[in-house]
């Protein structure tokens, strides 16, 4: 059987090559008849390249058929993985070359053909991935068609840092994270307060991970400090490449926090990032769904390059969403492999044993931010719940007047998308946030904006958190357009709109903050929603409540 397959495949390969060669010779002969030498040269190059590509494909097909003929049935999955890896890697390389303005084949016709094939493959893989998730969650909201990805290429030497982003670690330190294609590049950061003059340096570590046949570059993490608050530092990663700058957050109020969810890497994402960069702020919070790589690991790299201009200059504090899980039926990969390797957060410093949930202080401890994990265990007896109880018990509201929480799947939601998906977590944890007097809870997941009044246990309560859904950063799946008019929580919903955008929470002082939501649908980031908040830690019941003002203005 194996010998017959080998002979047959050899004949197929030889016949294919001979047929292609004959076609090439005929095309060349016709071109000579027209006497166009330049055109002939182009055709010869194109056909020879095509012939070479066909021969390479034929050899690989023969090799795979030999494996199938000789190996047991369980090896078919391994063969499928090889085929997927080869095709997917080549198509992504072609898209990357096109983004750089480079030729893949050396001819215009060849580039157009290959580009069309590569884009068709990308759409096919995206569709299959979405279908897989849809089969697993058959009752999930059906979204509009995907929007095109915005791929950012890397055209610098392998040792040069890319995907640079920063996060805070403790009161006075900053973690610098980046990737190099050169896995032997040093994990060193040099930094100082003047451009090009580095008065200090720090050394960290690096890691890599594999997914199917993808292997990441070296993912470096280095903690620098102690740093002065509200100070601009200049730094260089790995003793190579460009110089970056960052500004540390303030040690006292006021402080401004940008909040975006479900970011992705589309044209709408770029619009959101441009609007954010057009105004000053101190820190960015992201409640899950970062790259939308969805098992296509090179998309983690393009996402990191897209957000680098902002993420390298202000701290980005993130928590996971469902698109970070990246497990598939049959193929047993550990969840969150890419997310945990690339986006290391200060969980250990907050007493958490998982990178999926943690907390940190801002503005010298005036603000305490709790990042919860919607996709980590949260029921009674779970590690996350026990950690949250300890963390909230350690917050002194006399010293910390503002308490903010973020999670991915919203607990309150009147949109048709993802109805009820946060209900189990709400029942398990809502009482803890209420008793701690959390001021505001941000969520993502639903691709729209919605702001609720202060709530506890499905009823308006002036001592409960204000709930805000902001999953509208610019994802590739489109907006969640349908709100349920007669939803039981509709009377609690103060403002809702299905548009892309971002939000800003400016905490002015110990008692007052202002929240604004900026819509992307206009040339400029238009403020569509604004509300003032009063800290729940303030002594006595807020005067606004006695005056009968809506609870969401407290």
User: How many Å apart are CA 484 and CA 229, to the nearest integer?
Assistant: 46
User: Phi-psi bin for 474: left (phi > 0), alpha (psi -120 to 50), beta?
Assistant: left
Is 165 annotated in the active site? no
Parallel, antiparallel or unpaired: strands 367-371 and 402-406: parallel
C-beta of residue 553 within 8 angstroms of C-beta of residue 462: no
> Which tokens go with 143?
């979204």
Report the SS3 class of residue 220.
strand
> Which tokens go with 129?
């991935």
Four-point Cα dihedral 80, 86, 88, 94, nearest 10: -160
User: How many Å apart are CA 420 and CA 424, to the nearest integer?
Assistant: 8
What does residue 150 show for φ and ψ, rounded to 5 degrees?
Answer: -110, 100
> Which tokens go with 441?
């809870």
C-alpha distance from residue 251 to each of 49, 192, 400, 506 (Å): 61, 19, 13, 15
C-beta of residue 267 within 8 angstroms of C-beta of residue 147: yes
Using CB atoms within 10 A of its CB, is residue 178 exposed (0-12), middle (13-18) or buried (19+)? Answer: buried
User: How many Å apart are CA 453 and CA 433, to the nearest integer?
Assistant: 15
User: How many Å apart are CA 239 and CA 286, to the nearest integer?
Assistant: 30
Smallest CA-to-CA distance from 418 within 270, 262, 271 is with 262
What does residue 464 show for φ and ψ, rounded to 5 degrees?
Answer: -95, 170
88's enclosing H/E stretch is helix 76-99
Q: How far is CA 364 from the centre of its chain?
A: 28
Helices (H), 353-476: 383-393, 423-435
Strand partners, 339: none
C-alpha distance from residue 165 to each of 31, 155, 243, 336 (Å): 54, 19, 13, 18
Tally the residues of the chain. 554
User: How many Å apart are CA 59 and CA 204, to the nearest integer?
Assistant: 44
User: How many Å apart are CA 166 and CA 283, to the nearest integer?
Assistant: 10
Select which of 220, 418, 502, 518 is catalytic. Answer: 418
In this structure, what DSSP letter does residue 205 have? Answer: E
C-beta of residue 402 within 8 angstroms of C-beta of residue 436: no
C-beta of residue 476 within 8 angstroms of C-beta of residue 265: yes
User: How many Å apart are CA 360 and CA 367, to the nearest integer?
Assistant: 9
Catalytic residues: 418
């Amino acid at each position: 059987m194996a010998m017959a397959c080998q002979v047959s495949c050899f004949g197929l390969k030889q016949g294919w090559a001979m047929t292609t060669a004959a076609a090439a010779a005929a095309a060349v002969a016709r071109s000579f008849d027209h006497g166009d030498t330049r055109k002939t040269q182009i055709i010869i190059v194109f056909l020879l390249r095509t012939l070479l590509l066909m021969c390479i494909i034929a050899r690989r097909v023969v090799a795979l058929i030999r494996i199938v003929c000789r190996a047991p049935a369980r090896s078919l999955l391994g063969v499928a993985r090889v085929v997927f890896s080869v095709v997917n890697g080549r198509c992504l390389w072609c898209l990357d070359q096109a983004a750089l303005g480079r030729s893949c084949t050396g001819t215009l016709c060849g580039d157009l053909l290959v580009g069309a094939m590569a884009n068709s493959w990308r759409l096919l893989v995206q569709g299959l991935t979405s279908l897989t998730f849809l089969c697993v969650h058959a009752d999930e909201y059906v979204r509009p068609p995907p929007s095109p990805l915005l791929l950012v290429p890397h055209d610098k030497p392998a040792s040069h840092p890319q995907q640079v982003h920063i996060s805070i670690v403790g009161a006075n330190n900053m973690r610098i994270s980046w990737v190099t294609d050169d896995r032997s590049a040093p994990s060193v950061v040099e930094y100082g307060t003047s451009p090009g003059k580095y008065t200090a340096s720090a050394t960290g570590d690096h890691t890599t991970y594999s997914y199917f046949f993808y292997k990441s570059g070296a993912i470096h993490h280095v903690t620098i400090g102690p740093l002065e608050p509200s100070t601009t530092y200049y730094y260089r990663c790995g003793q190579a490449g460009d110089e970056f700058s960052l500004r540390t957050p303030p040690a006292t109020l006021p402080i401004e926090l940008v909040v975006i969810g479900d970011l992705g890497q589309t044209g709408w994402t770029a619009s959101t990032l441009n609007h954010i960069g057009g105004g000053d702020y101190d820190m960015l919070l992201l409640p899950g769904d970062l790259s939308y790589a969805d098992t296509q690991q090179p998309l983690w790299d393009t996402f990191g390059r897209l957000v680098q201009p902002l993420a390298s200059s202000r701290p980005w504090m993130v928590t996971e969403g469902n698109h970070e899980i990246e497990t598939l039926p049959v193929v047993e990969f550990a969840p969150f492999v890419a997310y945990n390797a690339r986006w290391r957060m200060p969980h250990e410093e907050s007493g958490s044993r998982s990178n999926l949930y943690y907390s940190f202080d801002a503005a010298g401890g005036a603000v305490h931010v709790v990042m919860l994990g919607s996709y980590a265990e949260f029921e009674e007896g779970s590690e996350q719940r026990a950690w949250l109880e300890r963390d909230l018990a350690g917050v002194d509201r006399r010293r910390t007047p503002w308490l903010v929480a973020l999670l991915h799947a919203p607990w309150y939601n009147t949109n048709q998308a993802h109805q009820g998906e946060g209900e189990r977590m709400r029942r398990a944890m809502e009482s803890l946030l209420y008793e701690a007097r959390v001021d505001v809870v941000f969520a993502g997941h639903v691709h729209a904006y919605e702001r609720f009044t202060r709530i506890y246990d499905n009823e308006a309560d002036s001592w409960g958190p204000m709930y805000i859904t902001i999953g509208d950063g610019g994802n590739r799946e489109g907006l969640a357009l349908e709100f349920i008019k007669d939803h039981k929580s509709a009377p609690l919903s103060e403002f809702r709109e299905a548009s892309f955008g971002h939000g800003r929470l400016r905490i002015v002082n110990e008692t007052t903050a202002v929240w604004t939501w900026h819509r992307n649908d206009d040339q400029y980031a238009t403020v569509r929603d604004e509300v003032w908040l009063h800290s729940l830690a303030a002594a006595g019941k807020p005067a606004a409540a006695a005056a009968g003002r809506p609870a969401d203005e407290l």
